[in-house]
Amino acid sequence: MAGTNSELPLIAEGPVIILVNPQLGENIGMVARAMANFGLAELRLVDPRDGWPSDTARAAASKADHVIDGASVHDSLADAIADLNFVYATTARSRDGFKPVRGPSVAARTLRTRYRGGERTGILFGRERWGLNNEEVGMADEIVTFPVNPAFASLNIAQAVLLMSYEWMKSGMEDESQTPFQAVEQTPATKQDLFGFFGHLEEALDARGYFRPADKKPRMIDNLRSVFTRRAMSMQEIHLLRGVISSLDRYSRKNPRGGEGSDG
C-alpha cells in the first residue's frame, strides 16, 4: 500500500524537517515516509552518522523518493537553518531559559500562519539517544513538546516527526472533522416517512397479535418507536427496514424447520 500514486495530487510544501546527527538510516527513511504521508517534503540532515546517501534510508522510506532525493546534508545546525525565518525545537525535557513551550497543535497552527505569510520555517529533531543539546535548542525560536505518558515518555524520532507532520496537515484543514472520504450520502427522512414506517411495522405486528394484553398496547408502541427515534433516520434506512418488514410479513419461511406463520 506504500508509495506514491501519480494520479493523485502530491502535496509537498510546508516547514523543513531538520534531523541533527541522526544515527540510523532506517530512522531517516521512516522520517521521510512520515513526512510524505502528511504532505511535507524538505528534509535536511546535520552530520548524519552513517553518511548520505543511504540505501537503508531509501528502503525504509517506502517509496517516499521525492523526500529522499531532495534531502540535503549540512555540517552544522547553523548552516542547516541559515535561510529560515522561524524554527521550532522538539524536546521532551524541560529547559532553563525564556523560550516559550508549545503543544504540537498550537505549534502547527503557528507554522501554518507563518507559512501563509511567506515565511520559511523549520522543525528541529535531535539524536535518537539524547535529543538536542541546549545550544541547539537555543537556536530555535520556540520549543514544541508532546503530551505523553509521564512514565513512558520516549518517542522515537520517526514517531515525533509523524506527529508534527500530522498536526501540520490538520492545521491546513478548515475543519478538523473533515475526512478524505465520507459515508455514502443519505437523505434525511422526514417525520412523515418515519410515521409511515411505524404504521407499516405496527400493522404487521398487530395482525399477528403481538400487542398483548390490549391495555399494554400504547406502552408497547411507545417502546417500539423509541428504538427507532434514538437518532434521526435516513430515507435509505427506512427503505431498508420496510423491506425487512415486508419480507417478514408477506413471505413464508423457506427453511423447512420454520414453516408459515412462525413469527406469530
Shortest spacing between CB 149 and its own copies, in angstroms: 4
Nine-digit cell at 185? 450520502
Stretch that binds its own copies, among 42-50, 87-95, 133-141, 220-228 (CB under 8 A): 87-95
- Taking CB under 8 A as the criterion, the residue among 55, 83, 98, 264 binding its own copies is 98
Shortest spacing between CB 47 and its own copies, in angstroms: 20
Q: Which is nearer to its own copies, 121 or 145 (CB)?
A: 145
Whole-number Cα distances in Å, 70 to 53, 125, 160: 11, 18, 21
The answer to whether residue 245 forms part of the interface with its own copies (CB under 8 A) is: no
- Taking CB under 8 A as the criterion, the residue among 130, 191, 213, 260 binding its own copies is 130
Query: CB count, 10 Å around CB of 142?
Result: 15
The answer to whether residue 180 forms part of the interface with its own copies (CB under 8 A) is: yes
The answer to whether residue 186 forms part of the interface with its own copies (CB under 8 A) is: yes
Q: Which is nearer to its own copies, 172 or 196 (CB)?
A: 172
The answer to whether residue 235 forms part of the interface with its own copies (CB under 8 A) is: no
Nine-digit cell at 251? 413471505
- Asked whether 196 and 204 are in contact (CB, 8 A), the reply is no
For CA atoms 49, 125, 96, 146, give the dihedral sign.
negative
The full DSSP string for 155-190 is PPHHHHHHHHHHHHHHHTSS-TT--SS-PPP-PBPP
Say whether 34 sits in a helix, a strand or coil. Answer: helix
> Burial level of 35, CB count in 10 A (0-12/13-18/19+)?
buried
Say whether 157 sits in a helix, a strand or coil. Answer: helix
- Taking CB under 8 A as the criterion, the residue among 237, 241, 242, 245 binding its own copies is 237
What is the distance between the alpha carbons of residues 68 and 50, in angstroms, rounded to a whole number? Answer: 15
The answer to whether residue 114 forms part of the interface with its own copies (CB under 8 A) is: no
- Taking CB under 8 A as the criterion, the residue among 133, 154, 229, 252 binding its own copies is 154
Q: Which is nearer to its own copies, 65 or 249 (CB)?
A: 65
The answer to whether residue 227 forms part of the interface with its own copies (CB under 8 A) is: no
- Asked whether 90 and 125 are in contact (CB, 8 A), the reply is yes
Q: Which residues bind its own copies (CB under 8 A)?
A: 1-11, 33-34, 36-39, 62, 64, 92-94, 96-103, 105-106, 129-131, 143, 145-156, 159, 162-163, 166, 169-170, 173, 176-184, 186, 234, 236-237
